Amino acid sequence: MTLFGGIEAGGTKFVCAVGSGPDHILAEARFPTTTPAETLGRAIAFFDEQRKQHEIAAFGIASFGPVDADPSSPTFGYITTTPKVGWPNTDIVGAFARQYGVPVGLDTDVNGAALGEHRWGAAQGLDTFVYWTIGTGLGGGGMVNGKLIHGLLHPEMGHMVVPHDRNRDPFPGNCPYHGDCLEGLAAGPALEARWGQRGETLPPDHEAWLLEAHYLALGLVNVITIVSPQRIILGGGVMAQPSVFPAVRSEVQRLLNGYIQMPAILSEIDRYIVPPALGNQAGVLGAIAMAQDALAAA
């Protein structure tokens, strides 16, 4: 069986795996994201060790961004202008391509997770869908007409502008670029800054969650009206709070106000806005799916 290396390069942790799909992961390693030299060094040490026993045909990297995923660009394979200290202009694809001499695919972490869900999870059989992760940041990716979304760069859905009622929510937002963009209002660090405690310590009936659901629903209504996704998958630590999913679904219905007359929204929204079927493995499995595609394209 052909084996692949998957790297979920997150802003807080790296997940590396060798395998060919959700039922066939031979080895996995998780470690914190520190400096590029130390973090990529640990990843390469893991794969060097694995390669003593297994041949790895290609690699896929699902990375925090922004990344340059355009193969015709001179900076293809780089993490570009990230605010993450030490990481701007890091040639993450080159690190693996030089070491192993096999195809290496790259996309954003959220497009990677979307690809994983498309191949093996909650988006199987769909050709237009959206994947969001709401955690230390808020990122969105997905497919339109069967292709992962790219264009000028790649989607940055977390930085969309949503209405901010400062009477209801005086918190100014904490995006370093925009203040109260969606990420600045609704990602995990915004929850912590607004309420003075980490999201996972807020009780399920805390008013924080209705406000959170309101912001997420505002963003999702924008996405629904622009992309017309067949399904929306929401992952990340914030979505682990059980009261958020039902609140987001009903708020999306309230804001759309009957305009989109489709059963998926009117009566089957529990199957329309869903958690990732691959759980917290979506990212690394998506990276393996990306490696499969990189080999097929080589």
Question: Residue 116: phi, psi to the nearest 5?
Answer: -60, -45
**Among 109-117, 181-189, 258-266, 280-288, which window interacts with Zn ion (CB under 5 A)?**
181-189
Return the closest-CA partner of residue 132 out of 25, 207, 244.
244
> Binding to Zn ion by residue 58, rule CB under 5 A?
no
Q: Which is nearer to Zn ion, 106 or 186 (CB)?
A: 186
The CB-of-182 to Zn ion minimum distance in angstroms stands at: 7
Nearer to Zn ion by Cβ, of 159 and 206: the residue is: 159
Site string for Zn ion, 193-232 (x = CB under 5 A): ----------------------------------------
44 by Cβ neighbours in 10 Å (0-12 / 13-18 / 19+) ranks as middle
d(CA 159, CA 139): 8
Determine phi and psi for 110, rounding to 5 degrees. -75, -35
Give least dist CB 74 to Zn ion, A.
27
SS3 28: strand
The Cβ of residue 239 has, within 10 Å, a number of other Cβ atoms equal to 20
Nearest approach in angstroms of CB 186 to Zn ion is 11
Closer to Zn ion by Cβ: residue 173 or 286 = 173
| φ, ψ (nearest 5 deg) of residue 148 | -55, 140
Subset of residues 146 to 165 that bind Zn ion, contact rule: CB under 5 A: 159
114 binds Zn ion (CB under 5 A): no
Identity of the residue, 19 or 188, whose beta carbon is nearer to Zn ion in the bound complex? 188
Of positions 51, 150, 178, 206, contacts Zn ion by CB under 5 A: 178
Reduce the DSSP state of residue 11 to 3 states and report it: coil
Using the contact rule CB under 5 A, the part of the chain among 23-31, 41-49, 179-187, 220-228 near Zn ion is 179-187
Buried b (16+ CB within 10 A) or exposed e, 60-78: bbbbbbbbbbeeeeeeebb
Among 56, 175, 224, 244, binds Zn ion (CB under 5 A): 175
User: Among residues 70 and 156, whose Cβ is nearest to Zn ion?
Assistant: 156
- Total of chain residues touching Zn ion, rule CB under 5 A: 5
Tell me the window of 63-71, 169-177, 227-235, 237-245 that interacts with Zn ion (CB under 5 A). Answer: 169-177
CB of 265 to Zn ion, least distance (A): 27
Q: Does 54 bind Zn ion (CB under 5 A)?
A: no
Alpha helices (runs of H) in the chain, residue ranges in sequence order:
36-50, 92-100, 109-120, 182-186, 188-195, 207-227, 244-256, 263-266, 282-297
Binds Zn ion (CB under 5 A): choice among 9, 102, 181, 273: 181
How far, in Å, CA of 185 to CA of 169, rounded?
A: 9
Report, in Å, the least distance between residue 184 CB and Zn ion.
5
Q: Which residues contact 87 (CB under 8 A, 6 or more apart)?
A: 36, 79
Residue found by looking up tokens 């292709």 in the block: 147
Chain positions contacting Zn ion, by CB under 5 A: 159, 175, 177-178, 181
